């Protein structure tokens, strides 16, 4: 189905929706957080529990978000207002929109780093080591601002293109390319001496580390990796045709997200051990160095130590991969407030995307000169905001909109879903288990 109007739109195909939704879920967290979480928490044991959690915790919430979005055909604020008995329920959507804006404001800065390091690898390969060191200086506010602006311009240009001609077209290209690059890099790293220990650490289950703490860590990783709780999938679901099978599409989105996380582990963990053979420090305070330090310090040092044409190509390709993963996420984050502005204030898409993108970029520029703000914003709007949003979405569907109405929507494209084993389990999970587990993880995060 093509764009239905100049302002709102729809997906051309179910594949387009799946690629876009998977792109929203696949981000930098899959690449730099999941592998080290797995390696530090029992390897294959964590991987197995994470897979289960994605389907037991993430999948039910995903069904809830998509069904709310498709039933209403609106953004998160309009969706909760339309389905709720009181306008107060729109506050759930407002919270999601606010979280999307604030997460995008710092995510754009971090995404800009992936772009700057792509150029760093290019300059290093060409022998311009001084330029390479200069352009990869993440402590430079001006450089951070410059690359943040470039990244936001790319995001805005895609959103301005609309749902089918912008988001769908871009993610249909980037998602397969992302998978292809991952597989190529995995093959390259696997053939280098010293990587096999990392592969063993990652894939071999260490059952001695299976504790309640590990299980809840896997639950938290599963929830965050699927980009739930802020209304991105409500927004994407609002563009979905009534004939499409939501439960089936959600399974495919979850599988894609898990696949990318798994492949990232096959790349990152062997690369970390390979770095150790090159004399690069990979541990800090008894644990693997993770997050930005892993991506922007250890891995560039590894690519430089390998040297030669293949080492240079690996470095350039890796950071190009990260840039694409970041862009698929920034697209979904920007679409949330843009969809809200189109629906609630009747603003044309091109104008909404441009002005909202500019407004968020102004926040990003502030963060560019004070990167310590990233940790604060991430904690409030991501570590706390997303689980809180997930809990409210589950409770709203279960006790306000009611699961019977949700089943009616889910069965448009999936007849008799409520009578299937998955359908009966979904009702139990969305009403009781998911909110309780997410709340426990939220409280645990504070301590």
pLDDT of 421 above 50: yes
- Rounded distance, CA 315 to CA 20, Å? 26
Between 37-51, 71-85, 234-248, the lowest mean confidence (pLDDT) is in: 37-51
**Averaged pLDDT for residues 21-27:** 91
pLDDT digits (tens, 9 = 90+) for 141-200: 999 999 999 999 999 999 999 999 999 999 999 999 999 999 999 999 998 988 898 898
Bigger pLDDT: 81 or 383?
81
pLDDT of 381 above 50: yes
8 Å CB contact between 242 and 11: no
- Rounded distance, CA 302 to CA 268, Å? 11
Between 194-198, 204-208, 330-334, the lowest mean confidence (pLDDT) is in: 204-208
Contacts of 194 (CB under 8 A, 6+ apart): 273, 274, 276, 277, 278
Report percent pLDDT > 90 for the chain: 74
> Whole-prediction pTM value?
0.94
pLDDT of 73 above 70: yes
> Which residues make beta-bridge pairs with 287?
284
- Per-residue model confidence (pLDDT) at position 332: 97
Count of CB atoms within 10 A of residue 399's CB? 11
**Confidence band for 132, pLDDT divided at 50, 70 and 90:** very high
Give residue limits of the domains in the chain. 14-446
DSSP symbols for 190-234: HTSTT-HHHHHHHHSB-GGG--HHHHHHHHHHHHHHTT-SSSHHH
**Averaged pLDDT for residues 210-217:** 81
CATH fold, domain 14-446, is Hydantoin permease (1.10.4160)
pLDDT of 1 above 70: no
Bigger pLDDT: 114 or 8?
114
- Per-residue model confidence (pLDDT) at position 282: 81
Structural tokens at position 176:
């397969």
Report percent pLDDT > 70 for the chain: 98
- Per-residue model confidence (pLDDT) at position 352: 97
pLDDT of 305 above 70: yes
pLDDT of 3 above 60: no
**Averaged pLDDT for residues 205-210:** 80
- Beta strand 287-288 pairing with 283-284: antiparallel
> To the nearest whole number, what is the mean pLDDT of the chain?
92
- Per-residue model confidence (pLDDT) at position 445: 75
| 228 closest CA partner among 249, 248, 257 | 257
| 189 closest CA partner among 299, 281, 280, 289 | 299
- Per-residue model confidence (pLDDT) at position 212: 82
Bigger pLDDT: 37 or 228?
228
- Per-residue model confidence (pLDDT) at position 308: 86
What is each CA distance from 438 to 224, 236, 407, in whole angstroms?
11, 23, 22
- Per-residue model confidence (pLDDT) at position 361: 98
């Amino acid at each position: 189905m093509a764009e239905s109007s100049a302002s709102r739109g729809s997906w051309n195909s179910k594949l387009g929706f799946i690629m876009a939704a998977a792109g929203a879920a696949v981000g930098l967290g899959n690449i730099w957080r999941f592998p080290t979480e797995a390696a530090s928490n029992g390897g294959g044991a964590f991987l197995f529990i994470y897979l289960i959690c994605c389907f037991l915790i993430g999948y039910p919430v995903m069904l809830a978000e998509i069904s709310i979005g498709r039933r209403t055909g609106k953004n998160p604020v309009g969706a909760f207002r339309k389905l709720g008995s009181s306008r107060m329920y729109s506050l759930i959507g407002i919270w999601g929109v606010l979280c999307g804006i604030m997460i995008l404001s710092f995510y754009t800065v971090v995404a800009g780093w992936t772009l700057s390091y792509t150029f760093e690898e290019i300059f290093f390969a060409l022998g311009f080591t001084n330029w390479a060191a200069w352009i990869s200086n993440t402590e430079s506010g001006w450089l951070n601002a410059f690359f943040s602006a470039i990244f936001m311009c790319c995001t805005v240009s895609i959103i301005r293109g609309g749902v089918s001609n912008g988001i769908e077209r871009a993610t249909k290209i980037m998602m397969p390319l992302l998978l292809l690059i991952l597989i190529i890099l995995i093959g390259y790293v696997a053939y280098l001496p010293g990587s096999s220990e990392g592969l063993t650490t990652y894939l071999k289950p260490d059952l001695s580390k299976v504790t309640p703490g590990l299980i809840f860590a896997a639950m938290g990783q599963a929830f965050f990796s699927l980009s739930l709780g802020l209304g991105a999938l409500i927004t994407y679901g609002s563009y979905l045709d009534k004939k499409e099978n939501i439960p089936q599409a959600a399974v495919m989105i979850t599988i894609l997200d898990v696949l990318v996380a798994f492949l990232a582990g096959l790349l990152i963990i062997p690369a970390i051990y390979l770095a150790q053979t090159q004399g690069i420090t990979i541990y800090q305070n008894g644990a693997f160095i993770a997050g930005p330090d892993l991506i922007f310090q250890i891995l560039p040092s590894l690519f430089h130590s390998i040297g030669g044409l293949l080492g240079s190509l690996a470095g350039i390709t890796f950071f190009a991969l990260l840039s694409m993963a970041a862009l698929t996420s920034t697209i979904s984050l920007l679409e949330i407030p843009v969809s809200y502005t189109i629906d609630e204030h009747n603003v044309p898409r091109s104008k909404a995307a441009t002005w909202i993108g500019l407004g968020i970029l102004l926040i990003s520029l502030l963060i560019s000169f004070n990167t310590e703000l990233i940790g604060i914003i991430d904690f409030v709007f991501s570590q706390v905001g997303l689980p809180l949003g997930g809990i409210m979405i589950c409770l709203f569907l279960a006790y306000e909109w009611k699961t019977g109405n949700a089943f009616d929507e889910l069965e448009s494209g999936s007849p008799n879903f409520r009578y299937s084993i998955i359908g009966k389990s979904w009702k139990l999970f969305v009403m009781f288990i998911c909110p309780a587990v997410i709340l426990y993880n939220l409280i645990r995060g504070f301590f």
